[in-house]
Amino acid sequence: MVQGLARDFATREILPRAAHLDHTGEFPKDLIQKAADLGLMGMTVPEQYGGAGMDPVSYVIAQEEFARASAGVQAIITVNNSLVCDPIVAFGSESQKRRYLPGLSSGKDLGCYCLTEPSSGSDAMSLRTSARLDGDAWVLNGTKTFVTNGVEATICIVYARSAPDPGAKGISAFIVEKQFPGIRVGKVEKKLGIKCSSTAEIILDSCRAPKENLLGEPGMGGRIALATLDGGRLGIAAQAVGIARAALEDSAAFARERRQFGQTIGEFQAIQWALADMATRIDAARLLMYRAAYLRRQGRPYTKEASMAKLFASEAAMWASHKAVQIHGGYGYIQDYAPERYFRDAKITEIYEGTSEIQRVVISRHVLGAR
Amino acid sequence: MDTIVCLKQVVDPELPQWDFAIDPATKRQVRMGKPLVISTYDENALELALQLKEKTGGKVTALTLGPQGEVKDAVRLALAMGADEAVVIDDPQSPQRLAADKASVLAAAIKRIGRFDLVLTGCESADWVERAMAPFLAEALGAACVTFISRAESRDGALSVRRTSEEGFQTVDVRLPAVLSVTSDEAIRPRLPKVKDIMAAMRKPVANWTRADLGAEDAGGAKGVEVKDVSIPERTTKVEFLEGEPAEQAEALVARLRALKIL
């Protein structure tokens, strides 16, 4: 039934605007508010904090439906859910949960996740943003980059080095409100895809965050970041499965209608095999995603499985959307048809929340027993 | 106002045409493996019932008939949307039955539920389009009946409804209890349930009855009605070229569109 709601919301509200949002890059504020009104912005947040109290399997099922309609809209929703609400639920104090989760769930606030820096991407634990305790406040200095929802977000999860220890040890996590002094939006990026979600620099210039806005304990930031990314990767796996499914559904419909050489192109074995391979890869990706989400629901470790799901699903989405463009021929290359959007949107799933290369590093460490 | 809404689950009518198949043995649409949804106009009926409840108070009961495993989602969705109670009548053979037979079972269930002011149905089901359920129910329940209503307003304990007809609209004052069949209107767009209401609906009780519980004997099909055959209409595409100068072509085009009753 949750899937039904997500599908109805996606079909009724997101899909009719997906092409326009992609062409204009407009942030769909009203759509995000409607999603929040239905309980879709704080899906796994416990009910006592204003969330919907949903389990991780239902969560990925719903995210796939949003991404099937628009990967850009889903990116906005999944960042708020996975990368902002999740760490507050898992590591926040009772007062932090009460202060931030109701607003993030109701649409009053929107969250963003500030980990990446210009010189620390895949090597996230080498980040340089600093945090220094000054009386009753943390003073943060540094520049965060590629922050999804960076422009519209009101609540930021910021990672900074609070101790001289190298690597993950010296990193702490902070809940920073955009209204705190010293935080501002820098350069807003122009992107290949997921255009209706903003991607921006967040500049911390002696930003003062109250002492109690430390998330978890000092030095726990690295652990919080990695645990959050496990959940985030499920959201990106769902995004990739949704894009790939859209590519398949459009291609199957096109192959049934498009006639060349006196028959529909779906009657050519070249097209049939492409569709069969798309369908098979999508199902495999979805099952990997369900497995990881199921393990999470059981409270069991799922780092390797989340990486496998994200890796396989994102590469399946890239492959399937490439096939969709080819099946559509010239129509696949123009903006009146959706496959070119799927093709552009799919690429980011191989990059953010850990590139495919990083996923392989994570998986191989588990395989080799070197974690 | 206490309202009972009859909900039918059908194969999703939004499925692409190529997903539609007929079982030659039963002469019915293949349901196995297809996504089922509440029939479009039945969902409108539910939305209208919920709107009436919000204005006048009372209770909304969702009632459905069908194979229990298939139809329970329909009443769960109704509960999530705001229905107060739900009843499922388990009948594995239901998809093979036609309106008259199903109406007798539903009427027996409505009598067992007890007091009601209104019974709402969709004006037609998305699969068989018989448009017969509301009149059959009204007859069985001895209630007034108005079909194809698009709006309803409670006034001093009575009900005023807007009925859509071929000529336009009729405003009808209805005595209660009544059975109404609901069509579509911009004001009755079915609401999406909130996630927390979906979770709550999973915990609400649903009454499960059988035909035997209701004393509705299985006559093996509707009396006097036999479906001889069903087939999928073939869709053909034809292109006509109109000759002549632009003015002549325009005139010929208008004449052709009039002949096809498009204009």
> What mean pLDDT is predicted for residues A55-65?
97
Domain boundaries, chain A: 2-109, 112-218, 223-368
d(CA B169, CA B149): 9
Each residue of A138-197: pLDDT tens digit?
A: 999 999 999 999 999 999 999 999 999 889 999 999 999 999 999 999 999 999 999 999
pLDDT computed for residue B68 by the predictor: 86
The answer, for A47 touching chain B at a CB cutoff of 8 Å, is: yes
pLDDT computed for residue B215 by the predictor: 85
Inter-chain contact A5–B195, Cβ cutoff 8 Å? yes
For residue B120, what are the β-bridge partners? B5, B180
Locate A57 and state its tokens: 């399997």
The answer to whether A352 and A300 have CB atoms below 8 angstroms apart is: no
Q: Which residue has the tokens 């092409």?
A: A19
Locate A171 and state its tokens: 């990193």
Locate A143 and state its tokens: 């520049």
Domain range A2-109, CATH architecture: Orthogonal Bundle (1.10)
Annotated catalytic residue A353? yes
The answer to whether A332 and A324 have CB atoms below 8 angstroms apart is: yes
> What mean pLDDT is predicted for residues B248-254?
95
**What are the residues whose beta carbons fall under 8 Å from the beta carbon of A367, sequence distance 6 or more?**
none
Residue A75 pLDDT > 80:
yes
Per CB-CB distance under 8 Å, the chain B contacts of A47 are 196, 199
Query: How distant is the alpha carbon of residue B207 from its chain centre?
Result: 21
Cβ neighbours of A195 (radius 10 Å): 23
Q: Please provide the CATH number assigned to the domain covering A223-368.
A: 1.20.140.10
d(CA B46, CA B77): 10
Q: Which residue has the tokens 């709006």?
A: B151
d(CA A291, CA A307): 12
Find the CB nearest B80 among A1, A47, A53. A1
CATH class for the region spanning A112-218: mainly beta
Burial class (CB in 10 A: 0-12, 13-18, 19+), B75: buried
d(CA A22, CA A4): 25
Say how many CB pairs under 8 Å bridge A and B. Answer: 41
pLDDT computed for residue B223 by the predictor: 63
A74: confidence class by pLDDT, cuts 50, 70, 90: very high
d(CA A35, CA A13): 9
Residue A257 pLDDT > 70:
yes
**What are the residues whose beta carbons fall under 8 Å from the beta carbon of A73, sequence distance 6 or more?**
A14, A18, A21, A28, A31, A32, A66, A196, A197
The mean pLDDT value of chain B amounts to 91
| ipTM passes above 0.90 | no
d(CA A42, CA A212): 23
How would you label B160-195 residue by residue, b for 16+ Cβ within 10 Å and e otherwise?
Answer: ebbbbeeeeeeebebeebbbbbbbebeebebbbbbb
Q: What's the gap in Å between the CA of A160 and the closest CA on chain B?
A: 35
The mean pLDDT value of chain A amounts to 97
d(CA A319, CA A346): 9
B3-214 falls under which CATH superfamily? Answer: HUPs (3.40.50.620)
